[in-house]
Amino acid sequence: MTTEAHPRAAKASVPATHRHKTQRHKKASGFWADHGWALTSVAIGLSIWEIISRFLIGNKLFLAAPSQVAVAFVELAGSGELQKHAWVSSLEFFWGYTSACILGVALGLVMASSKIAKQMLDPWVAGLYATPTVALAPLFILWFGIGIFSKIVVVALLVIFPVVINTEAGLRTTSPQLIETVRSFGANRRQIFLKVSLPSALPFIFAGFKLGIGRGLIGVVVAELFGARAGLGQMISQSAETFNMPALFAGVTLLAFAGIAMTSSFSWLERRLIPWRD
Amino acid sequence: MESSELAPVKLSVSNLTKYFGDLEVLRDVSTNMRRGEFISIVGPSGCGKTTFLRIIGGLEQSDSGEARLDERKISGPGKDRGFVFQQDNLLPWRTVRSNTGIGPEINGEKGPEQHHRIERLLKLVGLGGFEEYYPRQLSGGMRQRVNLARALAVDPDLLLMDEPFSALDAQTREIMQTELMRIWEEGRKTVLFVTHQIDEAVYLSDRVLVFARRPGRIQEVVEIDLPRPRPLSLKRTPQFVAYVDHIWKLIEDDVRASVLEEHA
Ligand SMILES: Nc1ncnc2c1ncn2[C@@H]1O[C@H](COP(=O)(O)OP(=O)(O)OP(=O)(O)O)[C@@H](O)[C@H]1O
Ligand SMILES: [Mg+2]
Domain residue ranges of chain A, discontinuous segments joined by +: 1-58, 66-277
Q: pLDDT value at position B114?
A: 84
Residues of B in contact with A175 (CB under 8 A): 89
**Quick check: A2 contacting B, CB < 8 Å?**
yes
The residue of B55, B89, B93 whose CB has the most chain A CBs within 10 angstroms, and thus the best one to mutate to test that interface, is B93
- The shortest CB-CB distance from A276 to any of B89, B92, B103 is to B92
CA-B60 nearest atom, ligand 1: 1
Q: One digit per residue, pLDDT tens: chain B, 264 residues?
A: 444 457 888 899 989 999 998 899 999 999 999 989 999 999 998 899 999 999 999 999 999 999 998 888 888 888 888 889 888 899 999 999 999 999 999 988 888 888 888 998 898 888 888 989 999 999 888 898 899 889 888 888 899 999 988 888 888 888 888 888 988 888 888 999 999 999 999 999 999 999 998 888 999 999 999 998 898 899 999 999 999 999 999 888 777 877 887 776
Question: Letter for the amino acid at A203?
Answer: P
Residue A227 has pLDDT above 70, yes or no: yes
Distance B48 CA to ligand 2 centre (A): 7
Nearest CA in chain B to A15: B129
Model confidence band, residue A21 (pLDDT cutoffs 50, 70, 90)? very low
Nearest CA in chain A to B95: A276
CA distance B249 to chain A (A): 32
From B49, B63, B194, B211, the mutation candidate for ligand 1 (largest count of ligand atoms within 8 A of CB) is: B49
Q: d(Cα A191, Cα B202) in Å, to the nearest integer?
A: 39
pTM of the entire predicted model: 0.76
pLDDT, one tens digit per residue, over A115-173 is: 899 999 999 998 888 888 888 889 999 999 888 999 999 999 999 999 999 999 999 98
Question: Does the domain spanning A66-277 belong to CATH 1.10.3720.10?
Answer: yes
pLDDT, one tens digit per residue, over A76-90 is: 989 988 899 999 999
Nearest-ligand number for the alpha carbon of B216? 1
Q: d(Cα B23, Cα A37) in Å, to the nearest integer?
A: 63
Beta-carbon separation of B145 and A178 below 8 A: no
Taking alpha carbons only, the member of A136, A144, A162, A143 closest to residue A219 is A136
Residues of A in contact with B55 (CB under 8 A): none
Chains A and B form CB pairs within 8 A to the count of 94
Residues of B in contact with A182 (CB under 8 A): 91, 102, 106
Q: Which range (A32-36, A45-49, A189-193, B26-30) has the least confidence?
A: A32-36
**CA-based radius of gyration for chain B:** 18
Residues in the ligand 1 pocket, defined by CB under 6 Å: B 20, 25, 43, 45-51, 196
Residue A34 has pLDDT above 60, yes or no: yes
Residues of B in contact with A187 (CB under 8 A): 106
Beta-carbon separation of A16 and B106 below 8 A: no
The residue of B106, B157, B171 whose CB has the most chain A CBs within 10 angstroms, and thus the best one to mutate to test that interface, is B106
For domain B2-80+160-263, the CATH class is alpha beta
CA B110 to chain centre: 27
Neighbours of A69 (CB within 10 A): 23
CA B204 to chain centre: 10
Interface predicted TM-score (ipTM) of this complex, two decimals:
0.82
Residue A247 has pLDDT above 80, yes or no: yes
The residue of B54, B79, B86, B91 whose CB has the most chain A CBs within 10 angstroms, and thus the best one to mutate to test that interface, is B91
Beta-carbon separation of B59 and A200 below 8 A: no
**Quick check: A199 contacting B, CB < 8 Å?**
yes
Distance A164 CA to ligand 2 centre (A): 37
Question: Letter for the amino acid at B203?
Answer: Y
- Alpha helices by DSSP H, listed for chain A, are 7-13, 16-27, 31-51, 66-79, 81-113, 115-130, 137-144, 148-172, 176-184, 189-192, 198-225, 232-241, 245-273
Task: Name the residue at shortest CA distance from atom 10 of ligand 1.
Answer: B20
Q: Which range (A46-50, A60-64, A182-186, B201-205) has the least confidence?
A: A60-64
Q: pLDDT value at position A1?
A: 37
Domain residue ranges of chain B, discontinuous segments joined by +: 2-80+160-263, 90-155
Q: d(Cα B96, Cα B144) in Å, to the nearest integer?
A: 11
Model confidence band, residue A13 (pLDDT cutoffs 50, 70, 90)? very low
Q: Are B47 and B212 in contact (CB under 8 A)?
A: yes
Residue A10 has pLDDT above 70, yes or no: no
From B16, B26, B47, the mutation candidate for ligand 1 (largest count of ligand atoms within 8 A of CB) is: B47
**Quick check: A38 contacting B, CB < 8 Å?**
no
